[in-house]
Structure 1
Amino acid sequence: MGETEGIDSNQYLTFKLDDEVFGLEIGKVREVLDFTNVTRVPQTPEFMRGVINLRGSVVPVMDLRLKFDMAQAEDTVNTCIIITEIEMDGETTVLGALADSVQEVLDLEPEQIEPAPKMGTKLPTDFIKGMGKQEEHFVILLDIDRVFSVEEIAEVKSSAA
C-alpha cells in the first residue's frame, strides 16, 4: 500500500473550498457523501465539525475551510463529505473532510505538477504535495497525511471514541 507509483498516483479528486480548487490523490479517497447530519462533539477543535455514522462506524468530520483559516461557509446542496484514509505513525485513520463541492477526477502527468510554492500562499506548504496545472488554473494538491498533526488526530480519535 505504501507504493506511490502506478495508475493511482496521477489521478486526483478535485474539490472546491471558497474559490480555490484542491486535489486529493484518488488512492486516499474512499467515497464522497452528500452532506448529512453531523453530531457536534463538545470540547473539540473548532475545525472538527463533529462525527457521522458511516455504516455503523463513527467517523470524525473535519472542516477544511476552518483548518486552512478560511471563513466557515453555509452548507449548501453542493456541500459534501470526502471520506479519506490517512496514514499516521503506521496507523490508518478514516476521516471525513468537508468540502464546498466536488469537481472531478483529474488525470495529471508528472510534468503538469510544479513543486509547492515556498511563499505567497496563506497555507504552510508542508502539506501541499504540489501545484497541478490545468489549462490556466492551478489545483493545490494536498498531502492529506500531513494536513493534520499527530496531536490533532489523537485528539479527534479520542473525541470520536
Structure 2
Amino acid sequence: MRIIIQKSLASRVLIDDEVRGEITKGFVLLVGVTHEDTMEDVVYCARKVGNMRLFDDEDGKTNLALKDVGGDILSISQFTLYGNTRKGNRPSFINAAAPDHASNLYDALNNELRDQGFHVETGEFGAYMQVEITNDGPMTILIDSKQKDL
C-alpha cells in the first residue's frame, strides 16, 4: 500500500461539480493498493498516518501529529500510485490491485483511521474526481507498506 500524505490547510473533492468531501486543517491521503496488500498493510499505514508528526509545535519544530492539532483527513483512492513508467511513455498499471480488492482495503484503511478517532472524508472509489488541495508547507510524505521498518 502506498499513501501520499499532503499536509493541508483546506481541501475538497468534487464529483460532477458536487462537493463529496471537504476538510480544513489536516491531511489529504492519496491511497494506492497493490495485489499483495493485506490487512497487515492497512494496519501499518493507518498507524503511520495517525502518528505522523508533520505539524509545528510552539518552537516551530514538526513534533505534532494530526490528533494533537485536531485535524481531519480527506482520503482519495488513487490506483495511479502503482503506475510503472520504466518502459515507454505510457504508464502501465498492472501493479495496481483489482478494483474489488483495492476497494475493500481502501475502505478498511478509512475505517481504521476512524477507529483512531479521526474524522475522515472521502471521494468515491473508482469515480472521476477533481481534488483541490491547498498544501501547507508544502509538505508531502510517501508511506509505502512494503518499505516498513522491521
Query: TM-score higher than 0.5 here?
Result: no
What is the TM-score of this pair, normalised by structure 1?
Answer: 0.29
Larger strand share, 1 or 2: 1
What is the TM-score of this pair, normalised by structure 2?
Answer: 0.30
Q: Structure with the greater relative contact order (CA < 8 A, sep ≥ 6): 1 or 2?
A: 2
Larger helix share, 1 or 2: 2
